[in-house]
Chains A and B, each alone.
Chain A
Amino acid sequence: MPEGRTGSQLDRNRNSLLVLAPRRIAGTALSLVLTFAGLTAVTFAIARVMPADPVLAIVGDRAHQDVYDAVYRELGLDQPIFVQYLRYLGQLFEGDLGVSIMTAQPVLHDLLRFFPATLELATVATLLGVLVGVPLGVLAAVRQGRWLDHLIRTVGLFGYSVPVFWLGMLALFVLYAKLGWVAGPGRIDIFFDGMVEPVTGLILVDSALAREWEIFRNALGHLVLPAGILGIHSLAYLARMTRHFMLEQLGQEYILAARVKGVPERTVIWRHAFRNVLVQLITIVGLTYASLLEGSVLTETVFAWPGIGQYITSSLFNNDMNAVLGGTIVVGVCFVGINMGSDLLYRLVDPRAR
């Protein structure tokens, strides 16, 4: 009987899935290790290839040859390159990213200060993009060709193509300087600076934990503009992509089948079509978030936001290689982490990927 056979075939599929699970975890772990090896090899190679002499940067160009040689050996530069790489890895694992010339602080210490600022900005901007952009995209698709669709598409095109720094300066000028509706550049007023214990480094979270609502409000006032402007950019992009994915799904046969069943249109859209759109959106949202975590130098500069984009850029201009490489590793780790996260989510949402 064909039915009997196919039934047991299903059984076998289930079992093989279970057997595959540990293998899949091992595979993910292996690809993780390889990715990190690649990332560190690249940062290490950059440090070696750059024409800047790390010894000179420490001892200065008037130091005696003996001093120079001593520091040269101290840095391990006389060792074979492979040994140097392993040493570099060892230092990385201890959290030792070297000392920044610019701030005279350990790079790790700097990163723990600068990265949360970017994390806060990127997270709020992404949340805004997802919570507003995705529903707008769905709405535009459902009202395809009507005025609402045209409006959303026009606004989306504007949000996506207007330069962020120009919009930022305009917004600062109007909303801060003229109207005084929001707080100005920086993460927080000087007066409140350092008043809450940094637990997470995210001022909003820290001040909420400490129940310092005045500080929370002040920080929020500072965050609103830069996050709003980055948010407009990502919501424009996400709305565009969502509309496209949604239209694609609404044209599928299973949507027709759901309508034939008599399923109400709202359920057709959110339960049938959107679940399939979600599968595609996960990757896009992950990439948007990751690229925001890289730090948006322009926005951070316009709003004097002490984030990782500014940190890396100014380190680069000051030839502060330890800081640049440390920042690069953080950004790399973010990318890998988010990609793994969206991979996991993807499997959760799409049974075909399991």
Chain B
Amino acid sequence: MKRRDPLLVVDGLRVTFDTPRGPVAAVRDVSFVLGREKLGIVGESGSGKSQTGRALLGLLARNGRAAARRLTFDGVDLLRAGEAERRALRGRRIAMILQDPKFSLNPVMTVGEQIVEAFRVHANVSRREARLRALAMLEAVHIREPGHVFDAWPHELSGGMGQRVMIAIMMVPEPDLLIADEPTSALDVTVRLQVLALLDDMLARRGAALIFISHDLGLVGSFCDRVLVMYAGRVVETLRADELQSARHPYTRGLLACQPRVDGDGSDLPTLNRDPAWLR
């Protein structure tokens, strides 16, 4: 296989939020390199995993700032890129799937309108053609009767269907990198696997890379190639997914230890003890 440059290089990423009580660092010195692979980022709430994803898209909240030693996507320096350049990357080359389709689909626009928009933002497509391609896209995410769903409103969809629609919207411009921020946390367990399988299939077919953000270590371990464990805004450990069980960092080991098992002995799960030394 031909060796190619890494798709994404993140070196020393910091995300800081200005608050009335002074600046708060959400991401501190995070570095990783991503090829055409599936990278999982795990961590608890507030560990900075979501903000890492949003910083890559340049979509931090108004009071947030991102800085890094180096931040390049396919050779483009994201730190120097202007708003227009970043917007051209957004959607077209980097896309993101959010947690809950109940909130991430616009409630007053039909499903069809929202998919068609994704086509028309980046390419000069006629309405008719965009509609045809949107219908094909709905079919590609395994939605039966795409015509019906095309005209449906978001509130008429189930959670699983909503997330399929969201995947369809984000995969429309065939991005090279998809960031999935807890894409299955709001879904039923049975639907969860279907959506993951679909995601896997879509990525494989297009050869796109994935950053999978989750708090579920087991899920990330089985779905991704590599796992980044974040704690308090830092990467505490990077592992290959199949080496997860031999993790060395006490935080990762602690997380693994408090996962319930069906074949466990039924005793109480251990409580995770945090060592202040991890913050240093």
Residue numbers of A with Cβ under 8 A of B are 1-4, 6-7, 10-11, 13, 144-145, 252-254, 256-264, 272, 275-276, 279, 349-352
**Closest 8 A/B residue pairs (Cβ):** A262-B91, A7-B145, A253-B103, A3-B144, A351-B153, A262-B90, A261-B91, A257-B104
A352–B110 alpha-carbon span in the complex (Å): 11
Give every chain B residue within 8 A of A11 (Cβ-Cβ): 148
Q: Is the interface of A mostly helix, strand, loop or mixed?
A: helix
Q: Does residue B108 face the partner (Cβ distance < 8 Å to A)?
A: yes
Contacts of A279 in B (CB 8 A): 108
A151 to B121, CA, bound (A): 34
**B156 at the binding interface (Cβ < 8 Å):** yes
* Contact B108 A6, beta carbon cutoff 8 Å: no
**Interchain CA distance A199-B61 in the complex, whole Å:** 56
B170 touches A260 (CB 8 A): yes
A254 adjacent to B103 (CB under 8 Å)? yes
User: Which chain B residue lies CB-closest to A7?
Assistant: B145
Chain A residue with the shortest CB-CB distance to B94: A260
Contacts of B88 in A (CB 8 A): 262
Q: Give the chain A neighbours of B161 by CB distance below 8 A.
A: 3, 6
Bitwise interface map of B from 97 to 114 toward A, beta carbon under 8 Å scored 1, else 0:
011100111111110000
Contact A275 B144 (CB under 8 A): no
Q: Check A260 against B91 for contact (C-beta < 8 Å).
A: yes
B156 touches A13 (CB 8 A): yes
Interchain CA distance A13-B157 in the complex, whole Å: 11
Judge if B117 is at the interface, Cβ distance under 8 Å: yes
Interface flags, B176-201, vs A, CB<8A=1, else 0: 00000000000000010010000000
Q: Which residues in B have their C-beta under 8 angstroms from that of A6?
A: 144, 157-158, 161
CB <8 Å contact, B62 and A144: yes
> Are A254 and B144 touching (Cβ within 8 A)?
no
Q: What is the CB-to-nearest-CB distance from B154 to chain A, in angstroms, rounded to a whole number?
A: 9
In the complex, besides A253-B99, A256-B104, A272-B106, 15 extra interface pairs with C-beta distance below 8 angstroms are A2-B160, A2-B194, A6-B144, A6-B157, A10-B148, A253-B103, A257-B98, A259-B90, A261-B90, A261-B91, A262-B88, A262-B121, A272-B109, A276-B106, A352-B153
Q: A262-B87, A262-B90, A275-B109 are in contact. Are A1 and B144 (CB under 8 A)?
A: yes
**Cβ B144 vs Cβ A258 within 8 A:** no
Q: Are A254 and B104 in contact (CB under 8 A)?
A: yes
> Are A349's CB and B108's CB within 8 A?
yes
